[in-house]
Amino acid sequence: MSYQLPKFRHPDLPVNALGYTRADYEGSISTLCAGCGHDSISGAIVRACHELALEPHKIAKLSGIGCSSKSPTYFLGKSHGFNSVHGRMPSVVSGANMANRDLLYLGVSGDGDTASIGMGQFAHAVRRNLNMVYIVMNNGCYGLTKGQDSATADAGSASKKGDPNPFSAIDLPGLALQLGATFVARSFSGDKGQLVPLIKAAISHRGFALIDVISPCVTFNNNPGSTKSYDFVREHAEATGTVDFVPMREEITASYPAGRSQEVTLHDGSVLHLEKLAPDLDPFDRVSAMVALQRHSAEGQILTGLIYMDKDSRDLHDIMETSRRPLNSLVEEDLCPGDKVLANINASLR
Amino acid sequence: MQALQSVNEFVIKFANVNGTGSASANNLFAKAIFRMGLPVCPKNIFPSNIQGLPTWYEVRVSERGYLGRRGGVDIMLSVNPQSMPQDIKEVEPGGYFIYDNTKPLDLRLMRNDVNIFGIPLTRICNEEYEDPRQRQLFRNVIYVGALAALLDIDFAVLTGLVEDQFKGKDKLILPNIHALELGYQYAQEHFECPIGIRVRASDKVGDNILLDGNTALGLGAIYGGATVAAWYPITPSTSVVDAFERYAKRLRIDPGTGRKNYAILQAEDELAAIGMVVGASWNGARAFTATSGPGLSLMSEFLGLAYFAEIPTVLFDVQRAGPSTGMPTRTQQSDVLSAAYASHGDTKQVLLFPSTPKECFDFGALSFDLAERLQTPIILMTDLDLGMNDNMSPPLTWDDARRYDRGKVLSAEQLEQMERYGRYLDVDGDGICYRTIPGTHPEKGAFFTRGTSRDEYAVYTEKGEEYEKNMHRLMAKWETIKEWVPRPLETQSEQETDTAILFYGTSEESSMEARDYLAEDGVPLNAMRVRAFPFNQEVADFIARHERVFVIEQNRDAQLRTLLMAEFELGPDKLKSVLCFDGTPISARNIRKQILQQMPGYNVTPLRRERMVAGAENRS
């Protein structure tokens, strides 16, 4: 069951450029377990969209099946949503994006939904550079069917059931880099300071933007021995650097230490400030990103933050040279060649 | 020996090796007959292979206008030693066997009741051409030239066709005409031309065109306003999207910007292809996919979601013999049941059954109107025979005043005036609710699309009563759908009769021809061609009016008959089956035989035993 949130809000809540409060970006009350990492991610999405003053009805939120895929109900209540088929959200977004290039597509998936049943669709959405934000709420287990290991569970990690997982893990950022992804990040549901600007940057990116968010399952996979627990991730996460995101309309007010920081202007005019902590990573170099990921993994560390970004990314519409007008807005005059053309075609078939 | 005599009524079959360029030479032959004003029906029987296996091309020539498969072969042109033993057996007594006698015919294959003509095609080519590829290609053109002499085909028509075919590649014209002449001269010099079977120019073609159903479907999608096509390559449906793309490149480029007013996604598999169609349609574009049986199986889960979430979805299923590695290049109508009830849960899908290229075009375009009007998947069921063979068809037409029926879609203004919007609320009693396209209105109309765990306002619920209410509404919608889908076509017998035939899709031509034969046999038949599922009331009435109805179809399990029995709760006695499932199109002779055998009082040899006699089916 889901419940509507009470409508009452404090009258002095801050409003954004559209006059919306953060509450205007919320959804129904979550029915996930208390303390679920996914709810924090929903909160980060709400905050990012509110702060960017995005029009909610210009966002489409789509998901597959699983706990993660239930969560779009819990944010952006004014946006259209689509809870589709297990592992098949990327294809639905692909079609939706072809139909209307002007909406923002926010895909939410889980580790089972992406790394197992949906691996094929995930891989192909990446290689087509479909313009979307793809958030994986990654908890290393199947929550909705009560805690089976998923394909992102680390070898040797044990869930609440106690048996260590015997298989090697699929690392989604590593895989995405190999497949040619143009924006790859990893974060942690417990680190909103890092996650919110990453979501904003992913939204501004033109092309496929993956954020793999480690999001502990409090019920089945938050025990000692699990590498996806709150404690383990807090102890082992190592950030690539801090990220600050400044939308195009806003003035830059913060000051950044010289030397270690870098400014990147995105295609829509927004600016990304990166303060580097990992000295060996150049997030604009794919090889460097792959090496850094592998090295941290070998050292038992979880690399988080912006891992890779292609500043000159061309999305699927650019590649296919589709009309700049959304295809779903075309009418008979644009689409139907008429009877005269058909008469010529008939003549060629006699 | 008696030689078959016929003007403008015969069946000729070409036996060749695939990958040798035979298709274009055979097509040249069929088109020449067509241009002489004679109805033709060419059928390509080809292997699932690119090069080296036997391939056949059967052409029915019929001034009377019979366009189905008749059964039997009057003239066999065989240049493939691999299939020659089978080829010569197929010839009707008194028929003609024309073969490449560069190597003499195996004496064991000789038949005394067949007229045998040897033309040393390989030798002529070896003497004429140096290049091995030319030797192979022109061999086929040479036999077309020889046939021109043997059958009295107007040579000027052939040269005209060659000129049309190679327009822009002019240096190929003369060598092809030369090859035609080589064959023509050889036949003139060595045989008495024409033979007993010949053609004479006529005027029975009218303004008809020669077109394959898949191209017609691709054009139907263009005219129907499809902007998104998502697909995965599979025979025999691939040429649907090929045609869509070919015409889109010509007709759908924005004149101002040069950009494409369409998007074609070659998906990673059929699951993704249908997912893309569902996503695009959900977002307000007209979208389609084309596939065949194995793809339909893979798409089944999404078809269920589209049924329950009520998302317009268009799927063209070009049927073939199953399963995956079965006989992918042979025709069947064997996806009927799996399409009609595609997916898990209580689902019923709308099917359309076109039977000519014109109907492929019309129903193809109509599919998009129906999908949006009815908010449900529309599965158009064609088959390899219709899809990949050139069929004579009335010309394609389009009413320029026609507007697309976008169905019940709420605009921003309409939403503005609404108190509360309910996506699954039936406000006018036809079972079809109003939908909204994402991005329409800043505050109103957004909802969460999901399967069935929701109420009329699309709010999540797992209440059984809500589920049940929704399922009843979907059945009310099913009743509405019966009023929108194409109606069946009926042909009354001139004589009073209590017996009828019922068929769909590509069984039409052979069925109607068999009906003429059976009238001569003293078995008059009323006829109905079903064009859609759900079945309209007319279908129920038609069956009720008759003592027995023969359901003619091209599958083993009598799938449409099963569907009729299930939907109308009929017992098994009333509906009889006439079936063909060997992968070739059903023939008129075959239908006649099966009906006669099941008529009361007819003294029959059981069908099973008779089938054990080799070739009995074709020659009876």
Residue A275: pLDDT band with limits 50, 70, 90? confident
Residue A314: pLDDT band with limits 50, 70, 90? very high
CA nearest neighbour of A204 among A261, A255, A272:
A272
Q: Which residues on A lie below 8 Å from B285 (Cβ)?
A: 95, 98-100, 327-328
Give the closest of B254, B395, B437 to A346, CB-based: B395
Look at residue B196 and give its three-state secondary structure: coil
Q: Which residue of B has its CA nearest to A330?
A: B261
Query: B394 preceded by cis ω (within 30°)?
Result: no
Assigned domain for A279 exists: yes
| Sequence-ordered list of residues with C-beta below 8 angstroms from that of A35, at least 6 positions apart, any chain | A218
Assigned domain for A271 exists: yes
Give the model confidence (pLDDT) of B223-277 as tens digits: 999 999 999 999 999 999 999 999 999 999 999 999 999 999 999 999 999 999 9
Q: Which residues on B lie below 8 Å from A322 (Cβ)?
A: 259-263
State whether B271 and A323 contact (CB < 8 Å): no
Minimal CA separation from B110 to chain A, in Å: 40
CA nearest neighbour of B140 among B17, B34, B11, B12:
B17
> According to the model, what pLDDT value does residue B616 have?
39
B308 pLDDT more than 80: yes
CA nearest neighbour of B575 among B609, B547, B537:
B547
> According to the model, what pLDDT value does residue B620 have?
37
Q: Is the dihedral of CA B516, B521, B522, B526 positive or negative?
A: negative
The sheet with strand A237-239 has its strands ordered as A237-239, A302-309, A183-188, A208-214, A132-138, A104-110, A59-63, A80-83, B448-449
| Centroid of chain to Cα A257 | 29
CA nearest neighbour of B85 among B110, B63, B64, B68:
B110
Give the model confidence (pLDDT) of B424-442 as tens digits: 999 999 999 999 999 999 9
Count of domains observed in chain A: 1
Give the closest of A91, A99, A346 to B209, CB-based: A346
Radius of gyration, CA atoms only, chain B: 27
A253 pLDDT more than 70: no
User: What is the topology classification, in CATH, of domain B213-393?
Assistant: Rossmann fold (3.40.50)
> Token pair 């015409």 is at which residue?
B247
> According to the model, what pLDDT value does residue B618 have?
42
State whether A57 and B440 contact (CB < 8 Å): yes
Question: What is the distance between the alpha carbons of residues B103 and B116, in angstroms, rounded to a whole number?
Answer: 14
Assigned domain for A143 exists: yes
Give the model confidence (pLDDT) of B455-477 as tens digits: 999 999 999 999 999 999 999 99
> According to the model, what pLDDT value does residue B610 have?
43
* Residues B277, B313 contacting (CB under 8 angstroms): yes
Q: Which residues on B lie below 8 Å from A56 (Cβ)?
A: 442, 446
Query: B42 preceded by cis ω (within 30°)?
Result: no
> According to the model, what pLDDT value does residue B619 have?
39
Give the closest of A80, A327, A337 to B446, CB-based: A80
Give the model confidence (pLDDT) of B245-256 as tens digits: 999 999 999 999
A338 Cβ under 8 Å from any chain B Cβ: yes
Which parts of A205-320 fold into alpha helices (H)? 230-236, 286-298, 316-320
CA nearest neighbour of B503 among B555, B544, B569, B541:
B555
Query: Which structural domain, as residue segments, surrounds residue A208?
Result: 22-333
Residue A281: pLDDT band with limits 50, 70, 90? confident
> According to the model, what pLDDT value does residue A266 have?
79
Give the model confidence (pLDDT) of B295-304 as tens digits: 999 999 999 9
> According to the model, what pLDDT value does residue A260 have?
66
Residue A254: pLDDT band with limits 50, 70, 90? low
Question: What is the distance between the alpha carbons of residues A120 and A117, in angstroms, rounded to a whole number?
Answer: 8
Minimal CA separation from A259 to chain B, in Å: 44
User: In chain A, positions 158-197, which contact chain B (CB-CB < 8 Å)?
Assistant: none
Give the percent of chain B with pLDDT over 90: 91
Question: What is the distance between the alpha carbons of residues B382 and B505, in angstroms, rounded to a whole number?
Answer: 7
Assigned domain for A184 exists: yes
Ramachandran class of B598: left when φ > 0, alpha when ψ lies in -120 to 50, beta otherwise: alpha
> According to the model, what pLDDT value does residue B21 have?
84
User: What is the topology classification, in CATH, of domain B6-198?
Assistant: Pyruvate-ferredoxin Oxidoreductase; domain 3 (3.40.920)
User: In chain A, positions 2-61, which contact chain B (CB-CB < 8 Å)?
Assistant: 2, 28, 55-58, 60
A214 pLDDT more than 90: yes
* Residues B320, B328 contacting (CB under 8 angstroms): yes
A98 pLDDT more than 80: yes
* Residues B456, A121 contacting (CB under 8 angstroms): no
Give the model confidence (pLDDT) of A38-97 as tens digits: 999 999 999 999 999 999 999 999 999 999 999 999 999 999 999 999 999 999 999 999
Give the closest of A72, A120, A332 to B268, CB-based: A120
User: What is the topology classification, in CATH, of domain B489-619?
Assistant: Rossmann fold (3.40.50)
Question: What is the distance between the alpha carbons of residues A74 and B410, in angstroms, rounded to a whole number?
Answer: 25
Minimal CA separation from A153 to chain B, in Å: 26
B400 pLDDT more than 90: yes
Give the closest of B34, B276, B398 to A94, CB-based: B276
HSE (CB half, 13 Å, CA atoms) of B254? 18
Assigned domain for A341 exists: no
What length does chain B have? 620
Average pLDDT score, chain B = 94
Question: What is the distance between the alpha carbons of residues B456 and B463, in angstroms, rounded to a whole number?
Answer: 12
Q: Which residues on B lie below 8 Å from A349 (Cβ)?
A: 209-211
Assigned domain for A16 exists: no
Give the model confidence (pLDDT) of A17-31 as tens digits: 999 999 999 999 999
β-bridge partners, A212 = A136, A186
- Give the best residue of A105, A342, A344, A348 to mutate against chain B (max B CB count within 10 A): A342
Distances A205 to A181, A188, A270, B428 between C-alpha atoms, Å? 12, 20, 10, 44
> According to the model, what pLDDT value does residue A249 have?
58
Residue B48: pLDDT band with limits 50, 70, 90? confident
CA nearest neighbour of B549 among B587, B590, B577, B571:
B577
Q: Which residues of A303-331 are buried (b: 16+ CB within 10 A; e: fewer)?
A: bbbbbbbbeebebbbeeeebbebbbbebe
Domain ranges in chain B with CATH number 3.40.50.970: 213-393
| Sequence-ordered list of residues with C-beta below 8 angstroms from that of A213, at least 6 positions apart, any chain | A37, A41, A135, A136, A137, A138, A186, A187, A188, A189, A195
The CATH number of whichever domain residue A130 belongs to comes to: 3.40.50.970
**Encoding tokens for residue B579?**
């079936």
Average pLDDT score, chain A = 92
Residue A246: pLDDT band with limits 50, 70, 90? confident
- Give the best residue of B38, B214, B283 to mutate against chain A (max A CB count within 10 A): B283
Give the closest of B275, B280, B443 to A88, CB-based: B275
Q: What is the DSSP string of B301-333?
A: HHHHHHHHHT--EEEEEEE-BSSTTSBTTS---
* Residues B377, B313 contacting (CB under 8 angstroms): yes
| Centroid of chain to Cα B145 | 30
Assigned domain for A253 exists: yes
Domain ranges in chain B with CATH number 3.40.920.10: 6-198
Backbone angles phi, psi at A227, to 5 degrees: -90, 5
Give the closest of A100, A330, A342 to B439, CB-based: A100
> According to the model, what pLDDT value does residue A4 have?
59
Assigned domain for A156 exists: yes
Question: What is the distance between the alpha carbons of residues B373 and B387, in angstroms, rounded to a whole number?
Answer: 26
Q: Over B414-480, what HEC string results? A: HHHCCCCCCCCCCCCCCCCCCECCCCCCCCCCCCEECCCCECCCCCECCCHHHHHHHHHHHHHHHHH
**Encoding tokens for residue A218?**
């409090």
Distances A102 to A227, A324, B416, B436, B442 between C-alpha atoms, Å? 39, 9, 22, 17, 15
